[in-house]
Amino acid sequence: MLAEPPSLLPPSPLRLRLDRDALAANWRTLDRLSGPAAAGAAVKANAYGLGTAHVVPVLAAAGCRNWFVAHWQEVPELLRHVPPAQVAVLHGPGTDADAAYARAAGVRPVLNSMPQVQRWLSAGGGPCDLMVDTGINRLGLAMSELGDPAIGLLEIDCCMSHLASADEQSTQNSLQLARFGEVVQGVTAKRYSLANSAGIGLGADFHFALTRPGIALYGGVPTSALAGRIAQVARPQASVLQVRSLAAGEQVGYNATFTASRPMRVGVVAMGYADGFLRCWAGKDVFLWQGERLPVLGRISMDMTVVDLSRAHDCGEGDWLMLDYTLPEAAAESGLSQYELLTLLGIRFARQS
């Protein structure tokens, strides 16, 4: 028989500190900018990597009452915190089992195709949402399908579409808005929704009854219209595993991509690409110690990164380094999107709020 593991697990050498006040303030800002429309919250992908259990109670206390996830497997954790009638599942009922689960759980499927419409009706129907494609060509009914009689049998709570280029000054935005206006005229629903985070910044014409912010809740700034209004929420930290001294000429990491030109004091940090800290950060001054920026040296490994401690004389083993993770700036520095920066953060981070 296998022995039971000890119940007292040591703390993780990685932690993700969440600013609850900033998170709540971001939702209130987006709700205010939505005008008469209510702001919901996209909390898919474990609340964009920050942790559903930490994020959702904060947003609910701030006033959020509409929640969006992508997969059915994301529903149980969300239902620990909010009523099922407030929850919509964006990928819809792809199977009969999905439809049965939606009815049993009391959450709304977002119907994306005529087969999903038929599947939902065959399962007994009930409140649902409907996604219509107005130009992004991902999920959603084609506008040419909106005259199908089956759609008139649905109990549609929210009819929605999704903007493809809201973060740009693009003619596609006005085209999608015009098409969605046709959708509103042709589909009977209690509410209509078009705007994501960037779409909120496009103005009142895009807001309808419900907006669906995601990245901006978590500190992302997808459009200049939100600049200066969104606060940083996530601050990753990693502990120093070991401090080493390098002689001039010694090399660091896989494939020896860094060679010390002088004697150096370096730290091995408990964070690597398995934690979402990808190799694109090599050579960047992204770690912070008491205001000092510390460069990454050599290749980033799966579980470790080596940093230059030349400007951090009092930093030692067990100390914590902060990642500079202001999302717009970090995206520009790394080449990753603001979405990737958050959702790549791995499960080894102890999420703290």
Per DSSP, the residues of 186-237 read HS--SEEE---HHHHTT-GGGTTTEE---GGGGT---SGGGTTT----EEEE
At residue 181's C-alpha, the angle toward residues 175 and 186, to 5°, is 130
Question: Does the global pTM surpass 0.85?
Answer: yes
Q: Is 101 a catalytic residue?
A: no
pLDDT score of 235: 98
- Angle of helix 96-105 versus helix 114-122 axis, rounded to 10: 60
Residue of 48, 218, 254, 284 marked active site: 254
Q: Start-end ranges of CATH 3.20.20.10 in the chain?
A: 19-220
Q: Start-end ranges of CATH 2.40.37.10 in the chain?
A: 234-324
Residues 269, 307 contacting (CB under 8 angstroms): yes
Task: Compute the Cα dihedral for 310, 311, 317, 320 and give only its sign.
Answer: negative
128-162 exposure pattern, b = at least 16 Cβ within 10 A, e = fewer: bbbbbbbbeeebbbebeebeeeebeebebbbbbbb
pLDDT score of 1: 67
Distance, in Å, from the CA atom of 309 to the CA atom of 307, rounded to the nearest integer, reads 6
pLDDT score of 202: 98
Residues 286, 200 contacting (CB under 8 angstroms): no
Structure letter (DSSP) for residue 338: H
Residue of 44, 192, 273, 339 marked active site: 44
Q: Give the residue ranges of the chain where pLDDT is below 70.
A: 1
Residues 215, 338 contacting (CB under 8 angstroms): yes
At residue 266's C-alpha, the angle toward residues 261 and 269, to 5°, is 140
Q: What is the CATH number of domain 19-220?
A: 3.20.20.10
Q: Is 44 a catalytic residue?
A: yes
The CATH number, out of the four listed (3.40.50.300, 3.40.50.11900, 1.10.1060.10, 2.40.37.10), of the domain defined by the range 234-324: 2.40.37.10
| 39, 111, 161, 206, 353 from 177: Cα distances, Å | 18, 20, 9, 7, 38
Tokens representing residue 209 in the block:
């009854």
Residues 51, 351 contacting (CB under 8 angstroms): yes
Of 62, 67, 65, the residue nearest 28 (C-alpha) = 62
* Residue 3, phi then psi, degrees to nearest 5: -75, 145
